[in-house]
Amino acid sequence: MTHPYIPNAVPAVRRAMLDEIGATSVEEFYADIPESIRLHRPLNLPAPLRSEAELVRHMDELLSLNTGTDQALSFLGSGCYRHHVPAVVDEVVNRSEFLTAYAGEPYEDHGRFQALWEYQSMMAELLDVDVVNVPVYDGFQAAGTALRMAGRITGRRRLVVATALDADKLSRIRDYVRPDHEVTVVPVDRESGGADLAAVREALAAGDTAAVYAESPSALGLVDENLPALADLAHGAGALYVVGCNPLTLGVLAPPSSYGADIACGDIQPLGIHQSYGGGNAGFIATRDEPHLVAEFPSRLFGLVPTQVEGEYGFGDVAYERTSFARREEGKEWVGTAAALHGIGAGVYLALMGPRGMREIGETILALTAYARRRLAHVPGVEVPFGDAPHFADFTIRYTGSRTADEVRALLKERGVFGGVPTGITAPAGTGKAAFDPREAAFCVTEVHTKADIDRLATTLEEIVK
Amino acid sequence: MTDHHAPAPGPVTAQDARIAPKPPLRRFRQASWDEKLVFELGGPGERGVLVPAPDPSIEVPEIPAALRRTAPPALPELSQQQVLRHYLRLSQENLGADLNIDVGQGTCTMKYSPKVNDRFVRDPRVAALHPLQDEDTVQGVLRVLHELERLLAEISGMDRVSLQPAAGSAAIYANVSMIRAYFADRGELEQRDEVITTLFSHPSNAACAKTAGFKVITLHPDADGYPDIGALKAAVGPRTAALLITNPEDTGIYNPRIEEFVRIVHAAGGLCAYDQANANGILGITRARDAGFDLCHFNLHKTFSTPHACGGPAAGACAVTEELAPYLPHPTVESDGERLFLDHDRPRSVGKMRPFHGVVPNLVRAYAWIRSLGAEGLRAAAETAVLNNNYLLHKVRRIPGVSVPYAEGRPRVEQVRYSWQKLYEDTGVHSEDIGLRAADFGTHYWTSHHPYVVPEPMTLEPTESYSRADLDEYAAILAEVAREAYEDPETVRTAPHRSTVHRVRPEALDDPGTWAVSWRAYRRKILGESP
């Protein structure tokens, strides 16, 4: 069968190549595959859509069954965010040269080395540290690795989670650290939504703690004023302080290093990566430039070096012997294909935004989130917890009427409004509930929303919530 | 303006207008813009993009002082076109697979990523979907995931598939995690704490098993380059949790005793997981299930054509038997006959392997690729990849200085690990040097993973995507560089000469006093500036 993707399947070409090799058929090349494990029938797959036109038609039929957040008013967040993606970001990440390259050397692939090193450098400015890695898969992986790094550095077993954490993320972290660590989730204070410092102190009293883990903002969207105090508690117990943060907050919020974090980590999806049904993630890990910290990174760290020619920038891998590429199972965890192109895209995003853009987007989102919380608090049948605590993008509300969060969510959807996911679906661990509260719902606003959008949400809720 | 159309002194003959034929090897020069770092561009006050301000009636709330950013981040300040131009220049200094004959990244399966599939993932009906939308509003993408699972189940022979792992190594880790959960459920985890792999399986098999808490036993190849079955028999026992193995291995050699390997491990009570990173030559020929495996994984960015994206985002898929299905990451996509839904209620699941449902854009691309080829097309892809590999092998093995270690006289499947050892002994030129000199001809290659068991390695995997003329050109480049190594070794040793930059001086990269992972670190450590 010939196909535009398979040039040498043309029978005459195939015959000529076989003749040149001196083989009678392709079957000769499979001589080492025993008959007993051969598939003696064609794969049972649907008939091919051989022409591009047929394929496009089929895919269009499938995609028409989707309604994107661009065709509704979406207040969905909880780990995947709808932000504006600048056109220049799309232009760069869709370039063939970047999209289709892989793992070339820092000569013919100089461009990707420089773009990723610049990404590391801009993230380092944002995070106010000297070392940021080439992206890992996602924020979950970054947190798991950051905690294992803390474990290797301290040689200790326990990990203490001090702020509300997404249940899926906790699931990933638990699975990932299982061989070496046990995770203790300290319930947050139910009034403030923030860390319960007394309870954290108590958890640390048991000793053997490798790290205290906190998030800014937490899974409740809350920016916890106890974040600096947790650093003192962690360090007082001889543990490292690991902080997961949303990098988009850092034009307005202090970088974790400034209040004592030894390792910062998180997901860069908010930095110009499309939502893609939750498929657009990349994780960062950041530390001070100290050899004992750098030595524990599993990921690639690109470094800037001279070349043989004066004035040329060259790049290479810093401390490559750390990695499983160099030392298989003796390396730190593992390294492999992860999410480099998202790093390049996030770099473009930061270069476009600059310091003022990052401050302004942070202010806009803080302001709109505060407005949304105030506005919804005026809806009869809606309670907004945690008082005036600053929130960024995500926030939760509670329905006091007869309808559950899932019922309200479904009614909102019928009115073209996406949002109000019951927190039970991504139940933040550490919220101190034995079972999730069926009347609690999560919303999210970003810079793409206007005051009118939020007012529409409020008036729609007024119709629904009894 | 100078006049380029000045009349010639006499009549122009056809001979004068004739353009000489192209030389056998292209006179390539890579773009070299001598581009500054982004931090050296732009100036204070420049903006690349503006941000909407909130309605003036809405105030920015007060942030407690300890959590407020005091000094703005020292990000560059550039106008929009400056940003675009900077990154487009960098892109031109990068040799994507769409531009070069990218057969040199063996094990990576650099096949053509069809452009039409990129259209689907840029469509807002994929790109603008949120993973927590009501299932009724995402039936199309759920259909893609559900169908892709069925396609990969048939291709592997397995019963259930998870599309959640972010990449190949993440899929290996997910498989190891399922193996761990399976033995924990049976109360055997304490006892079964060893995983066996082979030296020519990807290093992530060893590294993921270690990360998941297992001891790793690595089987070395026998004298013919096959995994040593005697070593396997000596290694298995009551402590064996699993065998993690690639086949064909990264040498391109297919292990014909694979069923026996699986039987030996099963007899000892262990599970067998098949790393199908090298599946491209055997699609529709043989399947993981047919050889008795319990689990396998595919790299969708290799075998199923999604682009490699400078090193990800990729996508992985784990396929398992019914017995292991309860341990799959959640949620799974299920059908109630009328509509598709996400099943989060899987109590024995290993949990989440990444946020939400996987690297969806690449799942869409992989689905579209399989649907465009069908069963016959997949088999044609496999057979052509193998034909191309053996054709290139036939040409490359004739180049002076090259050898093809192991399995003398046996064919290779979809890739070959060659050795330049003889050329090195004759000339002092290393394999790395030859790969870098190849960059002067518009291509490149990769040596092998460490350790270099095959001395002076070079791993080529031509896939089904390259034409005969492409393969001829690639072989001719290698032959030319080998000739240079014998006749003018200095040219090869100091290459590249026509690439974006010249040889780096890497010494600073391993010294904590001089490595510079960021611009601020470089300024502090190398330029002596204080922040």
What is the tens place of the pLDDT at every residue in A25-76?
999 999 999 999 999 999 999 999 999 999 999 999 999 999 999 999 999 9
Q: Which of B131, B373, B515 sits opposite A278 (nearest CB)?
A: B131
Query: Could you tell me which residues are beta bridge partners of residue B446?
Result: B459
Q: Beta strand B240-246 with B271-275: parallel, antiparallel or unpaired?
A: parallel
User: Do A323 and A331 form a contact (C-beta atoms < 8 A)?
Assistant: yes
Cα distance between residue B8 and residue B520, in whole Å: 59
Roughly how many angstroms between the first and final C-alpha of chain A, as a whole number? 63
pLDDT reported for residue B79 = 98
Tokens of A344: 């390049």
What band does A429 get if pLDDT is binned at 50, 70 and 90?
A: low
What band does A13 get if pLDDT is binned at 50, 70 and 90?
A: very high
Q: Quick check: A413 pLDDT over 50?
A: yes
Chain B CB contacts of A315 under 8 Å are 504
**Which amino acid type is present at position B368?**
A
Q: What is the pLDDT of residues B169-196, one digit of tens each?
A: 999 999 999 999 999 999 999 999 999 9
pLDDT reported for residue B450 = 86
DSSP B97-163: TTTS----STTS------HHHHHHHHSHHHHT--TTS-GGGBHHHHHHHHHHHHHHHHHHT-SEEE-
pLDDT reported for residue A466 = 74
User: Do B327 and B181 form a contact (C-beta atoms < 8 A)?
Assistant: yes
User: Do B500 and A108 form a contact (C-beta atoms < 8 A)?
Assistant: yes
Q: How far is B474 from chain A (nearest CA, A)?
A: 15
Q: DSSP E strands: which ranges in A137-180?
A: 158-161
Tokens of A88: 């220049």
pLDDT reported for residue B366 = 98
* A121 with B519: Cβ contact below 8 A: yes
Cα distance between residue B491 and residue B500, in whole Å: 17
Q: Quick check: A434 pLDDT over 50?
A: no
Q: How far is A433 from chain B (nearest CA, A)?
A: 19
Between A423 and B494, name the one with better pLDDT: B494
Q: Quick check: B370 pLDDT over 50?
A: yes
Cα distance between residue A371 and residue A453, in whole Å: 11
Q: How far is A290 from chain B (nearest CA, A)?
A: 8
Q: Is the ipTM of this complex over 0.90?
A: yes
User: Do A54 and B129 form a contact (C-beta atoms < 8 A)?
Assistant: no
Sign of the Cα pseudo-torsion (B68, B74, B79, B80, in order): negative
User: Do B460 and B445 form a contact (C-beta atoms < 8 A)?
Assistant: yes
**Which amino acid type is present at position A384?**
V
Q: Is A108 on the interface with B (CB under 8 A)?
A: yes
Q: What angle do helix axes A110-127 and A340-377 make, rounded to 10 degrees?
A: 30
Q: How far is A189 from chain B (nearest CA, A)?
A: 18
Q: Is B73 on the interface with A (CB under 8 A)?
A: yes
Q: Quick check: B251 pLDDT over 50?
A: yes
Find the residue in A nearest to B39 (Cα): A118
Q: What is the pLDDT of residues A293-335, one digit of tens each?
A: 999 999 999 999 999 999 999 999 999 999 988 888 889 999 9
**Beta carbons within 8 Å of A78's beta carbon, 6+ residues apart:** A166, A219, A394, A421, A426, A442, A444, B132
Roughly how many angstroms between the first and final C-alpha of chain B, as a whole number? 49
Q: What is the pLDDT of residues A136-168, one digit of tens each?
A: 999 999 999 999 999 999 999 999 999 999 999
Mark A431-458 as b/e (b = at least 16 C-beta within 10 Å).
bbeeebbebbbbbbbbbbbebebbebbb
**Which amino acid type is present at position A394?**
D
User: Do B96 and A97 form a contact (C-beta atoms < 8 A)?
Assistant: yes
User: Do A14 and B391 form a contact (C-beta atoms < 8 A)?
Assistant: no
Cα distance between residue A465 and residue B105, in whole Å: 59
Tokens of A138: 């996602």
Cα distance between residue B92 and residue B81, in whole Å: 16
Q: Is B203 on the interface with A (CB under 8 A)?
A: yes
Q: What is the pLDDT of residues B229-242, one digit of tens each?
A: 999 999 999 999 99
Tokens of B267: 């007899």
Q: Beta strand A263-267 with B160-162: parallel, antiparallel or unpaired?
A: unpaired
Q: Is A318 on the interface with B (CB under 8 A)?
A: yes
Find the residue in B nearest to A22 (Cα): B394
Q: Which helix (H) or strand (E) holds B196?
A: strand B194-198
Chain A CB contacts of B450 under 8 Å are 325-328
Q: Quick check: A435 pLDDT over 60?
A: no
pLDDT reported for residue B43 = 97
Mean pLDDT of A427-445: 75
Coil, strand, or helix at residue B216?
strand
Query: Could you tell me which residues are beta bridge partners of residue B155?
Result: none
Q: Which helix (H) or strand (E) holds A56?
A: helix A52-63
pTM equals: 0.97
The burial class, CB within 10 Å (0-12 / 13-18 / 19+), for B528 is exposed
In the predicted model, what is the mean pLDDT of chain B?
96
Q: Quick check: B492 pLDDT over 80?
A: yes
Query: Could you tell me which residues are beta bridge partners of residue B417?
Result: B459
Q: What is the pLDDT of residues B58-110, one digit of tens each?
A: 999 999 999 999 999 999 999 999 999 999 999 999 999 999 999 999 999 99
Task: Tell the residue number behind the tokens 């004592």, with chain if given.
Answer: A260
Residue B43 phi, psi dihedral angles, 5° rounding: -170, 165
User: Do B101 and B475 form a contact (C-beta atoms < 8 A)?
Assistant: no
Q: Quick check: B8 pLDDT over 70?
A: no
- What count of other Cβ atoms lies within 10 Å of the Cβ of residue B338? 6
* A174 with B309: Cβ contact below 8 A: no
User: Do B259 and A37 form a contact (C-beta atoms < 8 A)?
Assistant: yes
- Helix runs in B228-298, H state only: 229-235, 258-267
- Chosen for mutation from B32, B34, B68, B75 (greatest number of chain A CBs closer than 10 Å) is B75
Q: Is A274 on the interface with B (CB under 8 A)?
A: yes
Cα distance between residue A231 and residue B380, in whole Å: 59
Task: Tell the residue number behind the tokens 């899929």, with chain if given.
Answer: B171
Coil, strand, or helix at residue A132?
strand
DSSP state of A35: G
The CA distances from residue A290 to A146, A176, A294, B380, in Å, are: 15, 25, 6, 53
**Which amino acid type is present at position A442?**
A
Taking alpha carbons only, the member of B165, B151, B139, B132 closest to residue B329 is B165
Chain B CB contacts of A312 under 8 Å are 34, 501-502
Tokens of A431: 């919220």
Q: Is A86 on the interface with B (CB under 8 A)?
A: yes
Taking alpha carbons only, the member of A251, A252, A250 closest to residue A266 is A250
Chain B CB contacts of A341 under 8 Å are 309-313
Chain B CB contacts of A58 under 8 Å are 371
Sign of the Cα pseudo-torsion (B387, B392, B394, B397, in order): negative
Coil, strand, or helix at residue A220?
coil
- Helix runs in A295-339, H state only: 324-327
pLDDT reported for residue B9 = 75
User: Do A455 and A73 form a contact (C-beta atoms < 8 A)?
Assistant: no
Coil, strand, or helix at residue A339?
coil
Coil, strand, or helix at residue B319?
strand
